[in-house]
């Protein structure tokens, strides 16, 4: 039997494998280490549909001449799952009442739902609630579309984040005063905005790393980015604890002298490293 992976003959010697499932199980660990996942199978030139995949796993190898295994990068599959979920949300909005009541159970078993549960539990859980009638499909679609932009062009998203970063850093420097003068709503908005843009920057760092960008070669204020992020995270935890304890003095000091400059510096370093080309 000839085994090909993405059209290239694979140097795989079968030993105890008796069916297609055995071969794929043996291949699974290797695929995970490469950042790829199985995305399709063809047997003797016949493409196996998603619905026929389970039956295919039990098929014996004695009558198989060629087994073509197709793989895709996990980030590409993740992007496809996000895009499909946006379509699912649109279909849910236009569905009738009875169809909506069945929608969620069908969606939970879909390939996009299973991959989202692994790659982004937060988005998956939000989708489950929304498709159960507990949230806004349009609101979730907007969030998913932002995640798609991050996956497709992280460098551009870092560039676009410049204005929000600058705005939230300026507000961080006024956080202590806002708390002291009773502007609690504005203070809460500042903390929420800071949390959101920081999570976005961290997501993009992770995406760049998975795309093979030499992210760990970046230095921020003469410190490796890994160490800088560790210090950043520690200061962030301290800020949130102080905010919950209503320690306005510590909140003000941390926000103005720790978090604001750290976020500015981290964003500037990423912008400098990625500017001039798409990653």
Q: Determine the Cα angle at 271 with ends 267 and 275, to 5°.
A: 170
Q: Which of 46, 73, 100 is the last residue of a domain?
A: 73
pLDDT in tens, the chain (279 residues): 889 999 998 887 788 888 898 888 878 777 777 778 888 899 999 998 877 887 888 888 888 999 999 988 899 999 999 999 999 999 999 999 889 988 999 999 898 999 999 999 999 999 999 999 998 999 999 999 999 999 999 999 999 999 999 999 999 999 989 988 999 999 999 999 999 999 999 999 999 998 889 999 999 999 999 999 999 999 999 998 998 888 889 999 999 999 999 999 999 999 999 975 444
- Let me know whether 124 and 145 are in one domain: yes
Distance of alpha carbon 91 from alpha carbon 96, whole angstroms: 10
Model pTM? 0.82
Q: How many domains, the chain?
A: 3
Token pair for residue 48?
């196996």
Strand partners for 220: 223
Distance of alpha carbon 260 from alpha carbon 277, whole angstroms: 27
109 within some domain: yes
201 within some domain: yes
- Let me know whether 252 and 172 are in one domain: yes
Q: Which of 151, 174, 208 is the last residue of a domain?
A: 151
Phi/psi-derived region of residue 228, left when phi > 0, alpha when psi is between -120 and 50, beta in every other case: alpha
203 within some domain: yes
Residue 180, φ and ψ in degrees, nearest 5: -65, -30
- Let me know whether 49 and 98 are in one domain: no
- Let me know whether 137 and 161 are in one domain: no
- Let me know whether 135 and 92 are in one domain: yes
- Let me know whether 263 and 186 are in one domain: yes
Which residue range forms the structural domain that includes residue 102? 77-151
């Amino acid at each position: 039997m000839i085994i090909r992976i993405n059209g290239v003959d694979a140097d795989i010697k079968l030993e105890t494998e008796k069916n297609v499932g055995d071969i794929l199980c043996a291949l699974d660990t290797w695929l995970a280490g490469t950042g790829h996942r199985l995305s399709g199978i063809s047997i003797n030139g016949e493409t196996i549909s998603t619905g026929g995949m389970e039956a295919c796993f039990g098929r014996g190898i004695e009558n198989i001449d060629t087994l073509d295994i197709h793989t895709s990068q996990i980030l590409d599959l993740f992007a496809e799952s996000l895009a499909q979920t946006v379509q699912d949300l649109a279909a849910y909005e236009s569905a009738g009442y009875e169809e909506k009541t069945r929608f969620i159970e069908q969606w939970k078993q879909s390939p996009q739902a299973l991959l989202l549960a692994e790659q982004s539990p937060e988005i998956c859980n939000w989708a489950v609630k929304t498709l159960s009638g507990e949230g806004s499909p349009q609101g979730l679609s907007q969030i998913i579309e932002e995640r798609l932009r991050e996956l497709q062009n992280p460098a551009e998203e870092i560039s676009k984040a410049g204005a929000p970063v600058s705005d939230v850093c300026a507000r961080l420097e006024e956080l202590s005063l806002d708390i002291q003068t009773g502007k609690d709503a504005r203070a809460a908005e500042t903390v929420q905005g800071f949390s959101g843009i920081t999570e976005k920057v961290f997501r993009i760092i992770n995406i760049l790393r998975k795309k093979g960008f030499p992210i760990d070669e970046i230095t921020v204020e003469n410190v490796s980015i890994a160490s800088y992020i560790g210090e950043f995270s520690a200061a962030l935890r301290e800020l949130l604890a102080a905010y919950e304890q209503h320690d306005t003095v510590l909140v003000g000091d941390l926000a103005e002298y720790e978090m604001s400059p750290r976020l500015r510096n981290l964003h500037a370093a990423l912008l400098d490293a990625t500017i001039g080309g798409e990653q």
